[in-house]
Amino acid sequence: MTTSASVIDPAEDFPMADRTALLAALARLVPPTALLTTEDELRPYECDALMAYRRLPLAVVLAEDEAQVVAVLRLCHRLGVPVVARGAGTGLSAGALPHAHGIVLSLARMQRMLHLDPLSRLAVIEPGMRNLAISEAAAAHGLYYAPDPSSQIACSIGGNVAENSGGVHCLKYGLTVHNVLALRVVLMDGEIIELGGMAPDAPGSELLALMIGSEGLLGVVTRVTVRLLPKPRTARVILAGFADIARAGEAVAAVIAAGLIPAGLELMDQAATRAVEPFVGAGYDLEAAAILLAEADGTAEEVEEEIAAMRAILERHGATSLRVSTSEAERLKFWAGRKAAFPAAGRISPDYYCMDGTIPRRHLGRMLNAIAAMEKKYGLGCLNVFHAGDGNLHPLILYDANVPGELERTEAFGAEILRRSIELGGTITGEHGVGFEKLGSMCEQFSSDELQIFHAIKRAFDPAGLLNPGKAVPTLHRCAELGRMHVHRGQLPHPELERF
């Protein structure tokens, strides 16, 4: 989709291997059912959930166990063939986009839970296991796995690790990085490393955070040890409307400043509520400029106390309507609208493009005004949904790929939102990753020294550079080509912005 990103950098290119020889060698390593080679078979793997970018790989291997992962990586390492790991393919930044001269290594068939220890509250699982399936398996013990991306019925834990995925409850319970205790990883040359363990300070745990969120560039994760938490007894959510989006932002700040950490805190603007309401009938206040969902969970007593405290604050900060869920069914109904935001965008517009910047929460009003101005500038509509608790924005830009020029305008619109995120002291991606999509914006967030450090880290794990090449970190050459300038953060590019 991004015309700029379609530049293939020579440093990210690899000579085409002899395909016939490669396929024959792979066929000796894995059973026929684990090897896809025809165009029809390869088609479903040409993209992830950011479908605007597509490429066919030379082959897809559906690994069944770690030994096959090791064997395939060794072979590709020897032959100089790029490898792109893939989980469920729900990524939103084209991280699992195939390399035209490489293979896709799917982990989706490796989905066993190897060990569940209810007393120590941890589980050891294979990378292809679906996020939600972990919680389902732990439910019998009153436990669950906390990070809950909206894609949790489909996405894999390996993909979650690669992206450091979050969810609506991550303000209180943390991201993937806070809930993973150990990883087993196969490096590109076939070597296996173990990072962290069931003990809090196990050797190698220093490298855990580096591996988490590394977008499949450093190694292939074959085993994940996660922390399980006791399931909260109950939860209730407040649905509040505001006449002004900035006031909703202030109410969020007031809730946090009062010492409350809600289990979930989500904001939607009017364009978003009006898009989802006909779709799911969540009961949103469509006159409100913005609605806020604020959830409390825990024991019944705890929930009552927090709901009462949040309610008082929201009312004091100008909520024009306010309802508290009175049953589990109603709680799910209030959430249904928020969870339907992406599909609703897809329903009211032929195409949509989801952005993922994070900003310090105090700049919310400023950011939303800027986005409103961009809607006019680019002649495109935008729905705003927002993980308000942690400042992670998901503007959904509406466009039609069949209208000449709209794609390019959408892309420029998105890039401008990200640039603004950096200027406001934030980041270009809160949870979806850089992938192939945001390479250009990386040039703006990081200096060339910093980018060079990233490349050197990559080489420390994968000296041959064969794992997911051309993703996550742009080459300096690409940045120069794009003419994208580093927006210097530490130096306060906008001294006029208030700091407190």
Partner 1 sequence: METRLEAFREKIGERRPLCIRGGGSKDFHGGPQQGEVLDTTGYAGIIDYTPSELVLTARCGTPLAEINSALAARRQMLAFEPPAFSEAATIGGVVAAGLAGPRRGTAGGVRDHLLGVRLMDGEGRVLNFGGQVMKNVAGFDVSRLMAGSLGTLGLMLEVSLKVLPMPRCEATLRFELPQARAIEAVNHWAGEPLPISASCWRDGVLHLRLSGAEAAVAAACAKLGGEKTGADEAANFWADLGAQRMAFFAGDAPLWRVSVPSATPVLDLPGPTLIEWGGALRWLRCEADRALIESRSGAAAAVALFRGGDRQVGVFPRPAPAVQTIFRRLKTVFDPHGLFNRGRLFPDF
Site for ligand FAD in 229-288 (CB under 6 A): none
260's contact among partner 1, ligand FAD, none, with CB below 5 to 8 A by partner kind, is partner 1
Residues 364-403 that bind partner 1 (CB under 8 A): 387, 390-392
Quickly count: other Cβ atoms within 10 Å of residue 21's Cβ.
10
262's contact among partner 1, ligand FAD, none, with CB below 5 to 8 A by partner kind, is none
329's contact among partner 1, ligand FAD, none, with CB below 5 to 8 A by partner kind, is none
Structure tokens given for 305: 């106390």
Residues 421-460 that bind partner 1 (CB under 8 A): 425-434, 438, 442, 445-447, 449-450, 453-454, 456-460
Smallest CA-to-CA distance from 177 within 150, 217, 205 is with: 205
User: Which residue lies nearest ligand FAD, judged by its C-beta?
Assistant: 159
Q: How many CA atoms lie within 13 A of 46 on its CB side?
A: 13
Residues 176-235 that bind partner 1 (CB under 8 A): 177-178, 187, 191-195, 197-204, 206-207, 209-210, 212-214, 218, 230-233
C-alpha dihedral, 380 to 386 to 388 to 392, nearest 10°: -90
Rg of the chain over Cα atoms, rounded to whole angstroms, equals 23
Structure tokens given for 106: 């799917």
Cβ atoms of residues 73 and 85 within 8 Å: no
Residues 23-52 that bind ligand FAD (CB under 6 A): 48-49
**What is the smallest separation between the CB atom of 240 and ligand FAD, expressed in angstroms?**
22
Alpha-carbon distance of 498 to 325, in angstroms, equals: 37
Q: Is 299 in the site for partner 1 (CB under 8 A)?
A: yes
Alpha-carbon distance of 26 to 303, in angstroms, equals: 55
Residues 142-181 that bind partner 1 (CB under 8 A): 142-143, 163-164, 166, 170-171, 174-175, 177-178
230's contact among partner 1, ligand FAD, none, with CB below 5 to 8 A by partner kind, is partner 1
Reading across the β-sheet that carries 35-36, which strands appear in turn? 35-36, 59-62, 103-106, 83-86
Structure tokens given for 243: 């006449």
49's contact among partner 1, ligand FAD, none, with CB below 5 to 8 A by partner kind, is ligand FAD
Q: What phi and psi values does residue 435 have, to the nearest 5 degrees?
A: 55, -135
Q: Which of 360, 365, 370, 372 binds partner 1 (CB under 8 A)?
A: 360
Cβ atoms of residues 397 and 341 within 8 Å: no
Which C-beta is closer to partner 1: that of 3 or that of 500?
A: 500
Q: Any alpha helices (H) in 166-243, and if so which ranges?
A: 170-173, 176-179, 208-211
- Choose the stretch contacting partner 1; rule: CB under 8 A; options: 28-36, 252-260, 318-326, 365-373: 252-260
Positions in the binding site for ligand FAD (CB under 6 A): 48-49, 84-92, 95-96, 107, 127, 149-151, 155-156, 158-160, 162-163, 165-167, 215-216, 220-221, 342, 431-432, 468
